[in-house]
Amino acid sequence: MHGEDRPPVFPTRAAALEFGCRILSLKKRNVENAIVWGFDGHDLIISIYDLENDGKLTRKNQLKIVSWYNFAKISYEDLLGNGIPFVKIESEGNTGTGTLQMIHSYWGWKKDRFVPVFFETKSYYKSYHYLEDLKMNYEIHKKASKQVSFALTYRYLNTFPEHKSKYSWTESLTWNDSLFSFYSPELERRKLIEAKNLIQKRIIEARLNLMNQSGSMETIDGDLLNKIKMMQILSDN
């Protein structure tokens, strides 16, 4: 489904459902939104509609996430237990021959826009004559509460002779309600000082760069990923 195929307005809830929309309360509890997604070229396009007083659903927001191979997937999780789910997006970062980075992000409604509250590399490998491979697994603790957190476990391997190394480490990201994010600039800067290896340091720097972005974050393209240095976390970049 292409972005231009989606009407700006659905006359009824039934029409939105017939089109393939999912009905969820993404902005305010017990206030319905319609959401539909598809690919337009190398981009994932997610359209969000608001329910109006006359029963129509009007498109108000759109997320555009680069997905070069159209591997992107979306799902929904009520992390805070308040009846307002976050949109979870799995999408590609850096791609190319022998290269694939997968990013997991969670998006929530803050004041007047959708913002990424969690934006992490889930896996990243570069395989030429040698291998550079990063894997991250996470578990969600205290889900459905304002104490929700992500427990992250990292494994990194580099077989390039000039960079040969192997690391593993863990960390936690805890929800900060006042910042509406799993990231705190103060905590991330502290982690940066304490980082034990270059890869860990670059991951934290990318988070800080993300937090320093001004304006809308509803478009994630290659230029933005380069700007925040999300695609540069592996050591041979």
Question: Measured between alpha carbons, how far is 230 from 226 in angstroms, rounded to an integer?
Answer: 6
* Cα diameter, the chain: 66
For residues 74 and 145, state if they share a domain.
Answer: yes
Residue 100 buriedness (CB in 10 A; 0-12 / 13-18 / 19+) = middle
d(CA 223, CA 60): 25
User: 210 and 235: one domain?
Assistant: yes
Q: How does strand 57-66 pair with strand 219-220?
A: parallel
Q: Are residues 115 and 76 in the same domain?
A: yes
Six-digit token pair at 167? 């690391």
* 215: region left, alpha or beta (phi > 0 left; psi from -120 to 50 alpha): left
Q: Do 209 and 125 share a domain, yes or no?
A: yes
Last residue of a domain, one of 66, 82, 116: 66
pLDDT digits (tens, 9 = 90+) for 163-207: 899 999 999 999 999 999 999 999 999 999 999 999 999 999 999
Tens digit of pLDDT per residue, the chain (237 long)? 444 588 999 999 999 999 999 999 999 999 999 999 999 999 999 999 999 999 999 999 999 999 999 999 999 999 999 999 999 999 999 999 999 999 999 999 999 999 999 999 999 999 988 999 999 999 999 999 999 999 999 999 999 998 899 999 999 999 999 999 999 999 999 999 999 999 999 999 999 999 998 677 899 999 999 999 999 999 654
Cα(187)–Cα(181) distance, rounded to whole angstroms?
12
Same domain, yes or no, for 90 and 174? Answer: yes
pLDDT of residue 4: 53
Of 9, 32, 66, the residue at which a domain comes to its end is: 66
pLDDT of residue 88: 98
Alpha helix positions (H), the chain: 13-19, 185-194, 198-211, 222-227
Q: What are 92-106's pLDDT values in tens digits? A: 999 999 999 999 999
Provide the residue range defining the domain that includes 110: 70-237
Q: Are 5 and 112 members of one domain?
A: no
Q: Are residues 117 and 84 in the same domain?
A: yes
The answer to whether residues 84 and 20 belong to one domain is no
Q: Which among 38, 66, 94 is the end of a domain?
A: 66
Contacts 24+ apart (CB under 8 A), 199-207: 199/134, 199/154, 199/156, 199/167, 199/233, 199/234, 199/235, 200/154, 200/167, 200/169, 202/229, 202/232, 202/233, 202/234, 203/120, 203/121, 203/233, 205/229, 206/230, 206/232, 206/233, 207/119, 207/183
| 113 and 221 belong to one structural domain | yes
SS (H, E, C) 96-130: ECCEEEEEEEEEEEECCEEEEEEEEEEEEEEECCC
Q: Give the per-residue pLDDT at 151.
A: 98
What's the token pair of residue 232? Answer: 């540069």
DSSP output for 38-93: EEETTEEEEEEEEEPTTS-EEEEEEEEEE-TTS--EEEEE-SSSSS-PEEEEEEEE
How many independent structural domains does the chain possess? 2
- The verdict on 86 and 60 lying in the same domain is no
Give yes or no: residues 115 and 29 share one domain: no
The pLDDT value given to residue 202? 97
Q: Is the dihedral of CA 18, 20, 21, 23 positive or negative?
A: positive
Residue 22: alpha-carbon gap to chain centroid:
19
Same domain, 34 and 132: no
